[in-house]
């Protein structure tokens, strides 16, 4: 038997199938370029990569293509559970949960807080439940890990009735990534599992940092929505909210149109004027492109500044942990960020950084306390683990323990 994981977004739909017995990945892939002529389904099985072009595919077509592939491979009738990544669960969900009509209604109620992602997540749930009515489905929330934050971390200094009546508060995202990265770092760095203070930096297209104390999130950078926090690919991160009304007047447009610019045309793309891809920005900066250099400087400064803020919430720092596509691969960016944090005792080893800490359990610092480390993210496997545990109990995932990040 296997576990299917679905992560449905506005631009792509990811999937993975894991063996229920030990969590070994069986099949994985992504439908990317949704709504474009270049849309395609890429899948990988035991190192073999296959691409199928599906020009113009929308989210529904993507899901049908994925289930068609699973049917071809004989996997649809061998599923013990389906785990669904859900971006926003508000304060309603503090852990992964079995999907029922009541749960779906609560996810729908969070659409206003995540208008891009929750509808895509709900579509995935709808199609999967209709395709696999005899299989139990589990929602695993990006926001759940951060529900342990104390009030000073999650409250905004706005009229309190906004929090009481409209649920205006910090929720945080990338919870599965932060949870997995922190737990794996505790093991690989030999930290005390019951007494540790770790800053996790999930850096990718979306970016966020979290303060993890003794396995629990006590602060994070993203807020009510994934727009707040550090500079991202096309998202602005934290700004003065007065900019919205100011640009309404200057551009003669609506607040919604300004927000669209802050979501789609800001961040690395907006500052560089070239690309949202960090590799492109880095290369341009190295060749002397002034705005690319500014974008890179701003990105690293915002991450380091936020990391320092996370240290305040922790009271100390035992490790800074990089994860995500940028965090795991961008040698120069890690060096810049760590360099800005030398005052906190972080001491990068350039040679170890070049190899991503491959021979040192991910550690890329000279010092061991505090340490700097690179930890691969494995959100899909965590989703599969949570889904199987909810459906079949803890004994069902006992053999996953050695390999599960941080378990």
Active-site annotation, residues: 142
Place of tokens 């690919």: 233
Q: Are 173 and 222 in contact (CB under 8 A)?
A: yes
Smallest CA-to-CA distance from 365 within 378, 353, 382, 375 is with 353
Q: Are 139 and 118 in contact (CB under 8 A)?
A: no
**CA distance from start to end of the chain:** 22
The vertex-241 CA angle with 239 and 246, nearest 5°, equals 110
The vertex-209 CA angle with 205 and 213, nearest 5°, equals 150
- Residue 259 has phi, psi (to 5 degrees) of -60, -35
Encoded tokens for 134 = 């005899």
Q: Which residues pair with 18 in a beta bridge?
A: 3, 25
Calpha distance 63→57 (Å, rounded): 10
């Amino acid at each position: 038997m296997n576990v299917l994981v679905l992560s449905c977004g506005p631009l792509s739909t990811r999937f993975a199938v894991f063996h229920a017995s030990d969590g070994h990945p069986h099949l994985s892939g992504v439908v990317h370029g949704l709504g474009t002529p270049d849309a395609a389904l890429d899948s990988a099985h035991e190192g073999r990569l296959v691409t199928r072009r599906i020009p113009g595919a929308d989210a529904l077509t993507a899901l049908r293509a994925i289930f068609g592939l699973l049917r071809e491979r004989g996997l649809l009738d061998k599923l013990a559970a389906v785990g669904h990544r859900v971006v926003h669960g508000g304060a309603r969900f503090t852990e992964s949960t079995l999907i029922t009509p009541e749960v779906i209604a609560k996810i729908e109620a969070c659409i206003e807080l995540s208008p891009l992602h929750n509808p895509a997540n709900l579509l995935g749930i709808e199609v999967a439940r209709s395709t696999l009515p005899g299989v139990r489905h589990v929602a695993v929330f990006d926001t759940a890990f951060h529900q342990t934050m104390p009030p000073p971390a999650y409250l905004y200094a706005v009229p309190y009735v906004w929090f009481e009546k409209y649920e205006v508060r910090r929720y945080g995202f990338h919870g599965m990534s932060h949870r997995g990265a922190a737990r794996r770092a505790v093991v690989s760095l030999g930290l005390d599992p019951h007494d540790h203070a770790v800053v996790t930096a999930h850096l990718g297209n979306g970016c966020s940092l979290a303060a993890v104390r003794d396995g629990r999130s006590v602060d994070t950078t993203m807020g009510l929505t994934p727009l707040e926090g550090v500079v991202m690919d096309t998202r602005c991160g934290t700004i003065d909210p007065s900019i919205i009304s100011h640009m309404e007047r200057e551009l003669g447009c609506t607040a919604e149109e300004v927000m669209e610019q802050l979501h789609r045309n800001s961040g690395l793309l907006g500052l560089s004027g070239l690309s949202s891809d960090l590799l492109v920005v880095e290369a341009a900066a190295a060749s002397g492109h002034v705005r690319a250099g500014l974008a890179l400087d701003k990105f690293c400064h915002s991450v380091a500044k936020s990391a320092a803020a996370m240290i305040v919430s922790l009271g100390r720092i035992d490790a800074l942990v990089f994860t995500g596509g940028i965090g795991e691969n961008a040698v120069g960016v890690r060096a810049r960020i760590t360099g800005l944090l030398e005052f906190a005792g972080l001491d990068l080893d350039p040679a170890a950084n070049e190899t991503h800490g491959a021979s040192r359990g991910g550690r890329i610092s000279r010092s061991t306390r505090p340490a700097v480390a690179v930890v691969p993210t494995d959100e899909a496997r965590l989703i599969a683990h949570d889904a199987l545990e909810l459906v079949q109990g803890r004994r069902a995932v006992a053999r996953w323990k050695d390999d599960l990040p941080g378990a």
